Structure 1
Amino acid sequence: MADLPPILAVFAHPDDEAFPTGGTLAHYARRGHRVYLACATRGEAGQLKDPALVVEDMGVWRTQELEASCQALGLEPPLFLGYRDSGRSERLRRDDPLALHNADLWEVEARIRALIAELQPQILITFDPHGGYGHPDHLVIHRATTAAFFSSGHLPKPPQRLFYSVFTSERAAAMQQSGQAHSILGGLDPQVFGVAENTLAVRMNVQAYLPQKWAAIQAHRSQFADRIAAMNASSQQQALMEQMLAVETFALGGTRGPIPRWPLQDLFDGL
């Protein structure tokens, strides 16, 4: 069988891949695509959510968690862009010259474009224009990856499509009401940080990959321990979260060819 075209997902921190795209990445890895994950930082500014863990170096710990997540999803070992986690809100590392928030945007774009040139992915995936919930590092990676998609057009094999991981406004509202997303979506307008149904390019049913996705989420114990406990609080909560985790949605950020139908049946539909 001929080699299937690769996929490159670009995110900011360890754990960014698990909830919104884990099932989709696992699906294509299972089908035989080489699926690469580029992570801009090692999550150095993460807050420890499991007091039972003894973590001396958060960056090292979260690197190991990301490696375990990639293994659970069947991805290639993670690649790192070499920046530091900026934190956010009152913890924003304004004075750290290596923090992603302070990085030169053209340099970040160039590092991503170099990976595109090396790996030759046909599909590129990253954050939506709001960075999911407005995290400054997410916004940098959205802008730099989008720019790299367009500036890579002169390469011999540029990516053919750019997808943004998104959630609908209805799902954003449901996540708020469930109590599971209070730490990231609390106070955010679902009609701003979510998208309308007619914006969705691809809706992936990843029910078959929930075991791999759940394993990836559990691998990020230092960041998700409280959410994992909440998900398991009752059978009703488990059913609600399983329903939410079973569908992953994407908007189209760019294309180098015609779109055969709308919405697309999958990321490669028509290629």
Structure 2
Amino acid sequence: MTEDPKTWFAGVPRVLFVHAHPDDETIITGGTLAALAAAGQEPLLVTLSRGEQGEVVPGTTEATDPQGLAAHRMTELAAALAALGVERHVFLGAGPARAEGLPPRIYEDSGMSWGADGRATAAPEADDEALTAAPVMEVLNDLVAAAHDAGAGAIVSYDHGGGYGHPDHVLAHRAARAVAHALEVPFWEAVPLDAAADDGSVERYDISPWLDRKVAALRAHASQVTVDGDALVHVGGQRQPIDTVEAFRRLEA
């Protein structure tokens, strides 16, 4: 297990993280983001949507409509990134994560429903402004613009299944991997520890020195998750440990 963040992701000095909704960056890669930021590696986070369709922990916000929830989650995200020490963040569709010559646009949360297998699947209906309804090339060109502006030497996102299957997560993986291929930079997928094989394909990063920052950032996302001791409780009631290790696998882009 490598402990020096300057050697993580093959020693690339600046890594672009691609996440679908506010809170994903902290739950999945918060410790890594905090470690890279503290080491002066200036990680860049691109968030694809504002989480307009997310469920809400009761009593945490008075927002009752998608736009109100989006504004609330943007505030939570700003607080979480401050806790992590991440200064470079942009929403996809807004400069510099917007293709040159195009007016800014908002990619909205596509929503989801739970499938019979316990994994997320596409919602019965998605708004015309939803991320998954957008032209694929528009999404890719915006992400290319963000990577160019950041001087990204590597790109990180979800695994091919989007973690738990959310359609926005799956799209994020495909788009991020395609952009990495186009720019000829390494692509890394975040993998859960219980699925991380011991075959040398996975790197595990000890984020325990930055765990307090990750926990503070998790608390900032109060409308979505609750910190309960050393565990995280999702809005749907699912519990997971707050691990001191985050794992990544390098794939051929």
Give the TM-score normalised by the residue count of structure 1: 0.72
Q: Which residue of 2 aligns with 1:246?
A: 244
CA-CA distance at 1:5 after TM superposition: 2.5
Q: Do structure 1's residue 38 and structure 2's residue 46 form an aligned pair? A: yes
**Equivalent AA in structure 2 for residue 253 of structure 1:** L
Aligned partners of 1:112 and 1:30: how far apart in 2?
25
**Equivalent AA in structure 2 for residue 137 of structure 1:** D
Alignment deviations for residues 175-215 of structure 1 (CA, whole Å, 9 cap, x no partner)? xxxxxxxxxxxxxxxxxxx3423264310011111100001
Spell out the pairing of 1:182-197 with structure 2 (5 A cutoff). Answer: 194-197=195-198
Q: Which residue of 2 aligns with 1:102?
A: 133
Q: In structure 2, do the counterparts of structure 1 residues 99 and 48 end up closer, same or farther at CA, with 3 Å as the change threshold?
A: same
Aligned partners of 2:28 and 2:217: how far apart in 1?
11
Aligned partners of 2:230 and 2:207: how far apart in 1?
22
Q: Do structure 1's residue 17 and structure 2's residue 25 form an aligned pair? A: yes
Q: Which residue of 2 aligns with 1:215?
A: 216
Q: Which residue of 2 aligns with 1:141?
A: 172
Q: In structure 2, do the counterparts of structure 1 residues 210 and 89 end up closer, same or farther at CA, with 3 Å as the change threshold?
A: same
Q: Which residue of 2 aligns with 1:267?
A: none
Report if aligned partners of 2:61, 2:72 keep a CA contact under 8 Å in 1. Answer: no
Aligned partners of 2:232 and 2:14: how far apart in 1?
35
Report if aligned partners of 2:196, 2:247 keep a CA contact under 8 Å in 1. Answer: no
Indicate the SS of the match to 1:150. Answer: helix
**Equivalent AA in structure 1 for residue 251 of structure 2:** G
CA-CA distance at 1:106 after TM superposition: 2.0
Q: Do structure 1's residue 205 and structure 2's residue 203 form an aligned pair? A: no
**2:142 aligned to 94, 103, 111, which one?**
111
**1:162 aligned to 177, 187, 190, which one?**
187
CA-CA distance at 1:51 after TM superposition: 2.1
Q: Which residue of 2 aligns with 1:75?
A: 86
**2:70 aligned to 48, 51, 59, which one?**
59
Unaligned runs of 5+ in 1: 154-158, 172-193, 234-239, 256-271
Higher helix share: 1
Aligned partners of 1:27 and 1:219: how far apart in 2?
18
Question: What percent of counterpart residues are identical?
Answer: 33
**Equivalent AA in structure 1 for residue 182 of structure 2:** S
Aligned partners of 2:13 and 2:230: how far apart in 1?
38
Q: Which residue of 2 aligns with 1:122?
A: 153
Alignment deviations for residues 62-105 of structure 1 (CA, whole Å, 9 cap, x no partner)? 01111111111111242101310011017826341111121222
Aligned partners of 1:13 and 1:122: how far apart in 2?
23
CA-CA distance at 1:109 after TM superposition: 1.3
Q: Cα RMSD (Å) of the superposition?
A: 2.3
Aligned partners of 1:11 and 1:253: how far apart in 2?
17
Report if aligned partners of 2:42, 2:88 keep a CA contact under 8 Å in 1. Answer: no
Unaligned runs of 5+ in 2: 1-11, 93-105, 115-121, 234-239
Q: Which residue of 1 aligns with 2:237?
A: none
**Equivalent AA in structure 1 for residue 111 of structure 2:** G
Aligned partners of 1:53 and 1:76: how far apart in 2?
25
Aligned partners of 2:142 and 2:172: how far apart in 1?
11
Q: Specify the structure having the higher radius of gyration (Cα).
A: 1
Instruction: State the number of aligned residues.
Output: 213
